Amino acid sequence: MKYSELNKKTIEELDQQIRELREDLFMLHIKNKTNQLEDKSQIGRTRKDIARILTKRNELQQKNA
């Protein structure tokens, strides 16, 4: 996910996306522990996506405050 894609979203949409990605990250960790995960780089990419979304969300909150 690119940071520019996040510019079009509202805080509520970002919150929803964070919840979904955190669930995905949890499932990726479980698959990794049971040796079912083939591409381990997915974990890092998901974590970075969560960080990008949180950064954009905080930026929007500061603008609205």
Q: Two tokens at 20? A: 């979904």
CA distance 41 to 28: 10
Read off the pLDDT band of 2 (50, 70, 90).
Answer: confident
**What's the whole-model pTM score?**
0.91
Alpha-carbon span 18 to 5, nearest angstrom: 14
Decide if pLDDT at 65 tops 80. no
Locate tokens 């079009």: which residue?
8
pLDDT-derived band at 41, boundaries 50, 70, 90: very high
The DSSP 8-state label assigned to residue 10 in this structure reads: -
pLDDT of 42 above 80:
yes
